[in-house]
Amino acid sequence: MGKDLNGKELGTGISQRPDGIYMARAQCCGKPICIYGRNYQKLKKELEEKKKLARENNGRIPEQYTLSEWFEIWFTTYKEPTVSEQSVGPMRSKVKVFLDRIGDKKLADISSIDIQQIINATMIETEYARKSINEASNRLKACFDSAVNNGLVQRNPFVDVIISTSKSTVEDPPEQIRFLDQEQIAEFLNQIVDSWWYECFYIMIYTGMRIGEVGGLKWSDIDYENKCIHINRGLLCYYKKGEKVIKLGPPKTSNSYRTIPFIGNVETMFRRQKEKLEAYKKRYKGPIDLPDDMQDLVFLTQKASPVTRYPAEHALTDITKAIDINRAYNAAKAGKEFVPFVKLHPHALRHTFCSLCYESGVDAKACQTLMGHANISTTMNIYTHLSGKRIRTETQKVDQLIKAEPVKGKGKNYQKSNVI
């Protein structure tokens, strides 16, 4: 038991140095605690608080947490329960730019300068877009806010950081809205008319469904009597702790629950898909190993697995390559310049349906309902993009007309008229 300078007993592990500073030393759960202060009562209270916190954290003293360790505790406690499972991986990956550099540093040792240097170097050297840096910074700022609230650090080092807006940093690339026009739709469908994916991609083009909604469709969702499709779920595909997870879940948002009427030959495509799938199951070698809730899926891959984004992307890449080969051959044969086909991903087929709505004069609000957009701004963003493309196309027609007109005048021999 220590004593103060007057010989008064202070308690176990507490003493007073000749310069008047009080010192407290203790062991809690096998971990050392050492604190200093000029006020004895405050020091004693702080010592008890640190002991309590150490016991609650299995002997872990606040100052000993590294950024990576505390981020894991914060994320699994506060963030992960509030987001969908498929969002967990991308949210974690956002902060790797910081954790890879200072993840091993203790929370209390991280300063605003450390953070600022990482931001400056990352934006210039690794060409991270400003939006990506902002998202990572905001996530770790929330993490440090929680550390402050839990008494792990005194101050949040992210408070003073600045995300540069100078021209030396990488600008966020403009969002590319890809879709097929009428001629491209015909070329695309003609290329895949005999392929496994024909019915699936046709239905995506003429319904605007997301790939997860297509993958989650069951035959009970196809309403032949009322000639419509009921969107009640989605197929989720993500990685959790390095393992691939595929399961049925709710659609993306509450607005995603919707009914889409049959358009064009969509009903015929569903009937063809039913026949194709039944014939496929009869000749498939080996059991089709699917969970009970996936036995009634409308679409499967040729490997008898659910249709997720990844096999659809691979199929679209192969289709695009095949179209480009045909285009290159025809261009060379005709002595014309080769123009590659649109680079496709599943969402481009969804955008194609939105473009068809725009070209047909469908009201933006009605299109929002059909697409299942949570906000009208998403629909309007696509409509605005399409409007801009139409203006450019129409302007090119005028430009070609003007260029076709003979240029009048005498060129450099032209004499200026005296008539004003």
pLDDT at 6 over 70: yes
CA distance 139 to 71: 10
Work out the mean pLDDT of the chain and round it to a whole number.
Answer: 83
Neighbours of 415 (CB within 10 A): 6
Backbone angles phi, psi at 348, to 5 degrees: -65, -35
Query: Considering the domain 179-400 in this protein, what is its CATH number?
Result: 1.10.443.10
What is residue 7's predicted lDDT score, i.e. its pLDDT?
80
* Packed helices 198-205 and 182-192: angle between N→C axes, nearest 10 degrees: 160
Backbone angles phi, psi at 115, to 5 degrees: -65, -45
What is residue 420's predicted lDDT score, i.e. its pLDDT?
41
pLDDT at 50 over 80: no
Q: Which helix (H) or strand (E) holds 92?
A: helix 85-94
Tokens of 7: 């010989």
Instruction: Report the share of the chain in percent with pLDDT over 90.
Output: 41
- For the ranges 238-242, 330-334, 407-411, the one whose mean pLDDT is highest: 330-334
Listed in sequence order, the residues at least 6 apart from 236 whose beta carbon sits closer than 8 Å to its beta carbon are 84, 85, 86, 212, 245, 246, 247, 248, 249
Residue linked to tokens 């799938």: 277
| pLDDT tens digits along 299-349 | 999 989 999 999 999 999 999 999 999 999 999 999 999 999 999 999 999
Sheet holding 228-231, edge to edge: 222-223, 228-231, 258-261
What is residue 178's predicted lDDT score, i.e. its pLDDT?
83
- Please report, for residues 172, 227, 312, 401, the alpha-carbon distance to residue 230 in angstroms, rounded to integers and kept in the order given: 37, 10, 22, 48
DSSP 193-217: TTSTTHHHHHHHHTT---HHHHHT-
What type of residue is 106?
A: K
pLDDT at 32 over 80: no
Domain ranges of the chain: 2-62, 67-149, 179-400
Torsion angle of the four alpha carbons 229, 233, 236, 240, in this order, in degrees rounded to the nearest 10: 180
Residue linked to tokens 């996530």: 139
Residue 159 is classified by DSSP as: T
For domain 67-149, the CATH architecture is Orthogonal Bundle (1.10)
pLDDT at 207 over 60: yes
Query: Considering the domain 2-62 in this protein, what is its CATH number?
Result: 3.30.160
CA distance 81 to 143: 15
* Burial readout 229-256 (b: 16 or more C-beta within 10 A, e: otherwise): bbbbbbbbbbeeeeeeeebbeebbeeeb
- Average confidence (pLDDT) over 68-78: 89
For residue 365, name the pLDDT band (cuts at 50, 70, 90). Answer: very high
The pTM (predicted TM-score) of the whole model is 0.65
- Which range, of 292-296, 328-332, 390-394, averages the lowest pLDDT? 390-394
Looking from the CA of 380 toward its CB, the CA atoms found within 13 Å total 5
| pLDDT tens digits along 119-135 | 888 766 555 567 778 88
- Average confidence (pLDDT) over 20-40: 76
Nearest to 195 by CA among 276, 271, 274, 267: 276
What is residue 390's predicted lDDT score, i.e. its pLDDT?
59
pLDDT at 172 over 50: no
